[in-house]
Amino acid sequence: MRDEATIVFYVDDNAKSRRLLTSILRESGFEVITASDPLEALGVCKEISFDLALLDQQMPKMTGSQLAQEIKFLTPDIPIVLISGRGALPPTELAFVDAHFGSGTTLDELLDGLRTLVRPKLPLVRLSRSNVRWADST
């Protein structure tokens, strides 16, 4: 893995959620590349290197779970994190993901989970809004 910041490839069709979480990830020391569409994301996966994929579950054309399967085929060693507005997903939806964070997850829990999966130790940055819970507005 590189010495630079950890690169997160974040895919979410909701522009507001994408902007907000991208900003939080960057504040927390991650470099972020985004895509707004799962099909666009597949093209980007073939062109760039990244350390972790962060995928929204509910997207048009393809779910985050389906996109995870495609990404694992292209880059099997890359950790994939699925985020959703639901608390739990059936095991079939989680077959190709390394972690799932649903409603009720704090932003600190999400960030700690991402750091754990990529392992070059990023400095721990605690958000002042640690009681804020992740809520997908889709």
Residue ranges of domains in the chain, CATH in brackets: 7-118 (3.40.50.2300)
pLDDT at 89: 78
Q: H-helix or E-strand containing 34?
A: strand 31-35
Closest CA to 96 of 79, 118, 119, 117: 79
Is the pLDDT reported for residue 2 higher than 50?
A: no
Which CA distances in Å does 6 have to 50, 66, 70, 89, 98?
8, 24, 21, 27, 17
Query: Residue with structure tokens 């760039």?
Result: 48
The bridge status of strand 7-11 relative to strand 99-101 is unpaired
For 74-88, the pLDDT digits (tens) are: 999 999 999 988 777
For 11-41, the pLDDT digits (tens) are: 999 999 999 999 999 999 999 999 999 999 9
Please say whether the dihedral angle defined by the alpha carbons of residues 119, 27, 23 and 83, taken in this order, is positive or negative: positive
Quick check: 47 and 8 in contact, CB under 8 A? Answer: no
Cβ atoms within 10 Å, residue 44: 16
Quick one: tokens of 124?
Answer: 């721990």
Q: Which of 67-71, 102-106, 126-130 has the lowest mean pLDDT?
A: 126-130
Q: Which of 32-41, 47-56, 58-67, 113-122 has the lowest mean pLDDT?
A: 113-122
| pLDDT top residue among 85 and 44 | 44
